[in-house]
Structures are given as C-alpha cells and as structure tokens.
Amino acid sequence: MGHEYLTEKRLRALDPQLHSQYKNCVVVSNQMLSRYQSKFPEYTDHSTLHTLEIVDTCNALIGEQIDRLTADDLYVLLMGALFHDVGMGISEKDFCSFYGENFSAEAGHVSKEELQELIRKNHHELSGWFLKKYWRVFDIPNDAYAKAIIQVCRGHRKTNLLDPVEFPEAFFVAEGRSVALPYLAALVRLADELDIAADRNSAFLYDPMLIKNDISRLEFLKHQCIQSVEIRPAGVLVKAVSDDPEICEGVMDTVSKAAEVLHDCRMVVSKRTSFTIQQQRIILDLNSSLMLF
C-alpha cells in the first residue's frame, strides 16, 4: 500500500470539515515556522518542509492501521505534526510571557545566545503554550481538541508518554469521541527523530562551511552524508556515505539515538494502546557496511 498523503486523504474522506480546518492552518503555521530561521540560522530545518517530512513518515509508520484511526485521531495527528515546532518561532514577547521578564534578551537579562538555547531546548513546551493561548485563532473545534493537539506537540520531545494523566489511552475530544493520545504522540516523536537525511539541511545543504559554530557545522555535515531514510515493514534503513571518521562516528551516534527512540515508542504503543509500531530496528548502511541498532 502506498502511503503518500495517507492521513490527509483519509481525513478528507471521513470528515471534510475537519480536513478543511486543518488545511486552513497550513499557511499560518508556515508563517510562524519561518520565523525560526532568523533566530536559528545555523540549526537544522524546522520549517514547513520538516513538518511535511514528519507527516510523510507518520503515514509510512501507520500503514495498514489507517482504517482503525478515526477522523478525530487523524485531525489531532496532523495538527500536532503541523504545530509541533511552532515554539521555535515564538516571539520574544510571548517567550517572556511564558518564562517571565527575567529571561528577556531585549532587556539585557540574558544574551541572545542564551535565549536561543532556552527556546531550542524547550520549544516543545513553548509550542504547547502557544496553542493553549491562541487555539481559537486556528479554528480548532473546542478546548478538548486543543488540549489533545497540545499534548502531541509536547510529546514530541522529552515528555513521559507512559503518564496516564498527561497521555490517557482514550482522551475525549467530544461526547463519545476519543483519540489514542499515546499512539499519536509516539508517532510524531518517532517521525521527528527519523528526519535525519540530507534534505533536513535546506539552508546550508551545499556549503556547510558557512556555519561558524563548530558543533553546528559537524551536525550539518553529519546530516549531509545521510542519503536516505527508508521506512520498511520490519525496520528502518538508513543509508550514509562518508570518508571522514569523525562524521561516521557522528552518524552512528545519531542512528543509535534514533534506535532508542524507536524502542521507547514501540514500548509505549504496545503497553498503552491497541496499535503497534511494526518497525523493530534500524539498519545503518554506512559505506556499504551494515550495522543493526
């Protein structure tokens, strides 16, 4: 079964109104996400291109389980993927509302570099906070839908998906209508972790030497040598080519981290939902040598 636009087409078939509401948010989220580039010119991509990659990977991970997802599941998943990184583009005014004026770079309390690092490390919480404040602007049907989408946004980073209070197995968005919150959050978290191929580096793809920061430069070079990430029924195949030992080690570290997230998400979904994540391992093809993670 092809997975291109799987969730979008299924949502449109099941509930055209929810699908329309989701599509109406794409332009607005793109404007928000584009702000991050002025704040993080040397970071990997968190723009709409990254969001589209997340949705495509979720489609591949869902596969034949698509028929078990309700329109509400699909809407929350797509909206969560759409807004999961919106905290990267949050205004400093909103940032200060979240953290307090003592964190204002404009007032000289912290440096711009410190402010950037705070946003980067906590952007999943900032994404959730942003939606909590502005969800009505995005025509989200009610506060319960908003809460579900917020939790998917928060869940894409270091959040405990096993917590039955924060991520209940059946989260009701309307009377008699619930979504599988742990599964949806796990999908976005895993898809986000698997977006490691070269096209993640849109801004500096062809000239990483423009990057001044040594750590950021190595990160871009590492992504640049990863040619593809292929979701297969039993596992994930990552292909990479490099003759630099430092970059090769970095690729192996990245794949190892992604494998840990895969294991954790599989465990969450298995324990807390009736769904499954079929992919059991990551296979790294590095310079035509295969490694299992």
Length of the chain equals: 293
Q: What tens digit of pLDDT does each residue of 33-80 get?
A: 666 565 665 555 555 678 889 999 999 999 999 999 999 999 999 999
For residue 204, name the pLDDT band (cuts at 50, 70, 90). very low
Q: Name the nearest CA neighbour of 170 among 162, 181, 159.
A: 181
Q: What pLDDT shows up at residue 205?
A: 46
Stated pTM of the model? 0.87
Q: What pLDDT shows up at residue 212?
A: 62
Q: What pLDDT shows up at residue 269?
A: 98
For residue 93, name the pLDDT band (cuts at 50, 70, 90). confident
- Other CB atoms within a 10 A radius of the CB of residue 100 amount to 10
Answer whether 74's CB lies under 8 Å from 82's CB: no
Please tell me which residue, 230 or 32, carries the higher pLDDT value: 230
Q: Could you give the 3-state DSSP secondary structure of residue 289? A: strand
Answer whether 262's CB lies under 8 Å from 281's CB: yes
Q: What tens digit of pLDDT does each residue of 205-257 get?
A: 445 566 666 666 777 888 889 999 999 998 999 999 999 999 999 999 999 99
End-to-end CA distance of the chain: 26
Q: Report d(CA 200, CA 69) in Å as an integer.
A: 29
Q: What tens digit of pLDDT does each residue of 113-160 get?
A: 777 777 778 888 888 988 999 999 999 999 999 999 999 999 998 889
